Chain A
Amino acid sequence: MMKRWQAVKRLLPLMAMFALVLSGCGREDLSVLRPQGPVAQGQLDLIKLSISIMIVVMVVVFGIAAYVLVKFRKKKGQDKIPEQVEGNHKLEIIWTAIPLLLVLVLAIPTIQKVFAYGENDWNDPDAVKVEVTSHQFWWEFNYPDYGVKTAQELVIPVGKKIAFQLKTNDVLHSFWVPSLGGKMDTNTEGSVNYMTLIADKADTYIGKCAELCGPSHGFMEFRVKAVDDATFENWVAAFKAPAVLPEDPALAEKFKTNCLSCHAVGDQGGAMGPNLTGMGSRETVASILLNDISGEPGSKPTKDNLVEWLSEPQAVKPGNTMPNPKDLGFTDQEIEQIADYLANYKLDY
Chain B
Amino acid sequence: MDWLTTVDHKKIGILYLIAGGLFFGIGGIEAILIRLQLIKPMNDLVSAQVFNELITMHGTTMIFLGVMPVIFALMNAVVPLQIGARDVAFPFLNSLGFWTFLFGGLLLNLSWIMGGAPDAGWTSYTPLSTTEYSSTHGVDFYTIGLQIAGLGTLIGGINFLATIITMRAPGMSFMRMPMFTWTSFITSAMILFAFPAITVGLVLLSFDRLLGANFFDVAAGGSPVLWQHIFWIFGHPEVYILILPAFGIISEVIPTFSRKRLFGYSSMVFATILIAFLGFMVWAHHMFTTGLGPVANALFAIATMLIAVPTGIKIFNWLFTMWGGQIRFTSANLFAIGFVPTFVMGGVTGVMLASAPADFQFHDTYFVVAHFHYVIVGGLVFGLFSGLHYWWPKMFGRMLNETLGKWTFWTFAIGFHLTFFVQHFLGLLGMQRRIVSYLPNQNFDTLNFISTIGAILMGVGVLLFLANVVMTARKPSGVANDPWEDGRTLEWSIPSPPPEYNFKQIPLVRGLDAFWKEKMAGNKEMTPSEPLGPIHMPSPSILPFVMSLGLFIAGLGFMFSTEEFSNSFMSLIFNKYIVMIVGLVITFAAMIARSVFDDHGYHIETEELEGEGKA
In the complex, 5 of the A-B residue pairs with CB atoms within 8 angstroms, ordered by the A residue number, are: A26-B430, A40-B361, A68-B319, A184-B291, A210-B363
Instruction: State the 10 A-B residue pairs at the shortest beta-carbon distance, nearest first.
Output: A182-B360, A218-B435, A118-B294, A215-B48, A54-B348, A87-B264, A193-B291, A26-B429, A113-B357, A74-B326
Query: Are A107 and B352 within 8 A (Cβ)?
Result: no
Shortest distance in angstroms between A266's beta carbon and chain B's nearest beta carbon? 30
**B328 at interface by CB-CB < 8 Å:** yes
Query: Are B360 and A43 within 8 A (Cβ)?
Result: yes
Q: Among A13, A82, A184, which residue has its beta carbon within 8 angstroms of that of B289?
A: A184
The answer for the CA separation of A290 and B349 in the assembled complex, in Å, is: 35
Given contacts A61-B341, A69-B337, A82-B325, contact A26 B434 (CB under 8 A): no
Give per-residue flags for B420-454: 1 if the beta carbon is below 8 A from chain A beta carbons, else 0: 01001101111011111111111100000000000
Q: Report B-chain residues with C-beta under 8 Å of the C-beta of A251.
A: none
**A202 at interface by CB-CB < 8 Å:** no
Shortest distance in angstroms between B41's beta carbon and chain A's nearest beta carbon? 10
**A318 at interface by CB-CB < 8 Å:** yes
**A187 at interface by CB-CB < 8 Å:** yes
B interface residues, Cβ below 8 angstroms from A:
47-49, 51-52, 120-121, 125, 127-128, 133, 218, 223-225, 258-261, 263-267, 289-291, 293-294, 297-298, 301-302, 305-306, 308-309, 312-313, 315-317, 319-320, 322-329, 337, 340-341, 344-345, 348-349, 351-352, 354-361, 363-365, 417, 421, 424-425, 427-430, 432-443, 520
Query: Are A213 and B432 within 8 A (Cβ)?
Result: no
Query: Are B361 and A178 within 8 A (Cβ)?
Result: yes
Query: Are B434 and A106 within 8 A (Cβ)?
Result: no
Query: Are B223 and A68 within 8 A (Cβ)?
Result: no
Give per-residue flags for A204-240: 1 if the beta carbon is below 8 A from chain B beta carbons, else 0: 0010111111111111000000000000000000000
Give per-residue flags for A74-108: 1 if the beta carbon is below 8 A from chain B beta carbons, else 0: 11001001111111100110011011101100110
Interface bracket on A? 35 or more
A-B contact count (CB 8 A): 299
Query: Are A61 and B224 within 8 A (Cβ)?
Result: no
Interface centre among A30, A102, A185, A297 (most CB of B within 10 A): A185
Query: Are B365 and A118 within 8 A (Cβ)?
Result: no
Residue of A nearest to B260 (CB): A82
Given contacts A96-B309, A211-B125, contact A30 B442 (CB under 8 A): yes
Interface centre among A26, A118, A212, A297 (most CB of B within 10 A): A212
Q: Report B-chain residues with C-beta under 8 Å of the C-beta of A176.
A: 432
Extra A-B contacts (6), CB below 8 Å, given A31-B443, A58-B348, A85-B320: A65-B340, A87-B264, A87-B265, A114-B357, A217-B435, A298-B441
Query: Are A99 and B441 within 8 A (Cβ)?
Result: no
Q: Of A142-150, A167-175, A338-346, which stretch is located at the interface?
A: A167-175
Q: Report A-chain residues with C-beta under 8 Å of the C-beta of B324.
A: 72, 82-83, 85
Shortest distance in angstroms between A263's beta carbon and chain B's nearest beta carbon? 22
Shortest distance in angstroms between B33's beta carbon and chain A's nearest beta carbon? 16
Given contacts A58-B348, A106-B305, A212-B128, contact A92 B264 (CB under 8 A): yes
Shortest distance in angstroms between B319's beta carbon and chain A's nearest beta carbon? 5
Residue of B nearest to A218 (CB): B435
Q: Among B301, B349, B421, which residue has its beta carbon within 8 angstroms of that of A111?
A: B301
Q: Report B-chain residues with C-beta under 8 Å of the C-beta of A87.
A: 263-267, 317
Residue of A nearest to B290 (CB): A185
Query: Are B259 and A69 within 8 A (Cβ)?
Result: no
Q: Among B344, B432, B442, which residue has its beta carbon within 8 angstroms of that of A57?
A: B344
Shortest distance in angstroms between A120's beta carbon and chain B's nearest beta carbon? 10
